[in-house]
Structure 1
Amino acid sequence: MLLNFLLFALGLVLVSIGADKVVEGASAIAKKLRVSDLVIGLTIVAFGTSAPELAVNVVSSIKKNSDIALGNIIGSNIFNILVVAGFSAMLRPIAVKHSTLKKEIPLSLIAALSVLALGNKGRDLPSLITRGDGVVLLCFFAIFIAYVFEMAKKDREIFEEMEMAKLKNISTWLSVIYIIGGLIGLSFGGRIIVSSATQIAKVFGVSDKLIGLTIVAAGTSIPEFATSLVAAIKGKNEIALGNVVGSNIFNIFFILGISAIINPLNYPIVLNADVLLLIAITVILTLFSKDLRLSRIEGALFFAAYIGYTAYLIFRG
């Protein structure tokens, strides 16, 4: 037990250092490539911080553990909005870009709705997310990537008309090393945290479904949490929120799609309550962002909601 607590602390150190370097390197590369921090947040940072979810889901799918695979993705997305975005906004109000409000957040809502639709195909069909469903999810992911590339092209055109902002003197190679090294730290740190926390939880005899929705979900989302927190502290709002929204899109369209292709996922009906919560808080995130700002009070409401949700999960068992 003591060793698991020490490993948990080591994981926190790794993700903290890794998050700082990812934000610093990604921001520098964004300026050098003449694209916005939002594009980098939606792609490189979001994909990198979703690496723990991908690793957990690939292993879970190979072992045919649908409870961990589905619980990890749904739980991580809920954690991303309520805790990552919520706590970051509590620390410093987050500015929301118009494109994020009108395009990226709605796309993350479509992702959540797709899980509900695929897991509830009708009374005569098994509650199963099939390999074909996985292909559909990957097609949506391809559309998202095409949109991001188009946005990057527009950003480059805008930068051509502007004078480049002063950059911190970081070479391109060093920026890449920062990002790769930071992502490695995030991935290993997240893995250590999940492993140690899961061992601690098993001592208390909790189910795989509860572990997936709470400890594994929170643990694999720690990279997103650390990265968005550091981004908020440094005033990189586009990375802070772009990381959250991008990760949620990646988690469902890409990671869940890959998981279903490896092995069809049994969808427990009880998970509908969690998916409906994800849909509801995504809608609320849209409403909160109407004024292109996520305030401290709104962030606090999100964070409080997660505490209530965790209590509900423990009570549900």
Structure 2
Amino acid sequence: MEVAFVFLNFSLLILGLVFVSIGADKVVEGASAIAKKLRVSDLVIGLTIVAFGTSAPELVVNIVSSIKKNSDIALGNIIGSNIFNILVVAGLSAMLRPISVKHSTLKKEIPLSFLAALSVLALGNKGNNLPSIITRGDGIVLLSFFTIFVAYIFEMAKKDREMFEEMEMERLKNISTWLAVIYVIGGLVGLVIGGRWIVNSASQIARALGVSDKMIGLTIVAAGTSIPELATSLVAAAKGNSEIALGNVIGSNIFNIFFILGISAVLNPLYYQTALNVDIALLLIITVFLILFSRDLKINKIEGALMVATYVGYTAYLIIRG
């Protein structure tokens, strides 16, 4: 093991963490400012700008995977990312500070994310042929659901504008609209670059230490595309902005399936392996538990810890499954 090699990768790891930290802070600050400027709730911004932006790594990975006709990566990336988002991103955010849940999130957005996961299960198990194929037509169906979601967000934003009070504008009056936009775009770029450095350098260090590629793939790489969501939600939770923290998770999960998986299937039909049924079943179960945890409109620290512990158990299962 060359000392210079490890030092270089360790330096990139630290630099990546710095980029992610600063990027997440600017995304949250800029997104909150944009919400106030547009007179919409932080939840709307969390479900759209922040959620779609932090899902950029998943989008890139899936487009490349679809073009190369690698269905396993395309499907595994999305399902794994969504499980990570709920159990780790939302779980750690709740452990940091209890997450307040809006009534609309409990009754509409979380159930919609459940429907998204259920749609993949249904499309992946239709017919008697194995493996099943998620066709281009199926991809169009998923994209149609995404347009419905976007229409719902626009309707929510319209209602927010009607109810928004001018006094709410005071807190961020000193940040111009253009500066807020620059914060969000620059922050997202920082998240993507920093996340890539973290994944690549951590993988190199792990290999240098003799850790197997399988273990690296199941841990570092699997969680790598969700680093932007994790960093953004943790910063939002630390700042007491739970609407962005939870909206980012739910919005990303909906975007990942309806848009990214939809685009992936349109580019190239996806071959669905039935082994994924277990993972999607887990995704459905934890989404139901997210609804149950949110019944009192708050996810507390104990519930957050339980979610993180569940992910540890799931990772152990993946290692055993191989």
TM-score by length of 2: 0.93
The counterpart of 1:77, out of the listed 78, 82, 85, is 82
Answering whether residue 232 of structure 2 is matched by residue 227 of structure 1, we say yes
How many residues align structurally? 314
Give ranges in structure 2 of 5+ residues lacking alignment: none
In the alignment, is the contact (CA less than 8 A) between 1:68 and 1:212 conserved in 2?
no
More displaced, 257-266 or 119-128?
Answer: 119-128
Query: 1:232 & 1:9 partners in 2: Cα distance?
Result: 22
SS at match of 1:121: coil
SS at match of 1:266: strand
In the alignment, is the contact (CA less than 8 A) between 2:218 and 2:319 conserved in 1?
no
Query: 1:278 & 1:12 partners in 2: Cα distance?
Result: 28
* Aligned 1:63-212 pairs, distance under 5 A: 63-124=68-129, 126-159=131-164, 163-168=167-172, 169-199=174-204, 204-207=211-214
SS at match of 1:167: helix
Q: CA deviation at 1:34?
A: 0.4
- Return closer, same or farther for 1:34/1:116 CA change in 2, 3 Å cut-off: same
Whichever residue aligns with residue 111 of structure 1, its letter is: A
Answering whether residue 48 of structure 2 is matched by residue 43 of structure 1, we say yes
Q: CA deviation at 1:193?
A: 2.7
SS at match of 1:291: coil
The counterpart of 1:294, out of the listed 299, 312, 320, is 299
SS at match of 2:294: helix
Whichever residue aligns with residue 189 of structure 1, its letter is: G
Query: 1:214 & 1:108 partners in 2: Cα distance?
Result: 24
Counterpart residue number, 1:248: 253
The sequence identity of aligned pairs, in percent, is: 77
More displaced, 10-19 or 191-200?
Answer: 191-200
**Per-residue Cα deviation, 1:224-247 (whole angstroms, up to 9, x for no partner):** 000000000111110010000000
Query: 1:211 & 1:261 partners in 2: Cα distance?
Result: 30
In the alignment, is the contact (CA less than 8 A) between 1:83 and 1:302 conserved in 2?
yes
Answering whether residue 265 of structure 2 is matched by residue 260 of structure 1, we say yes
Q: CA deviation at 1:195?
A: 3.2
Q: CA deviation at 1:198?
A: 4.6
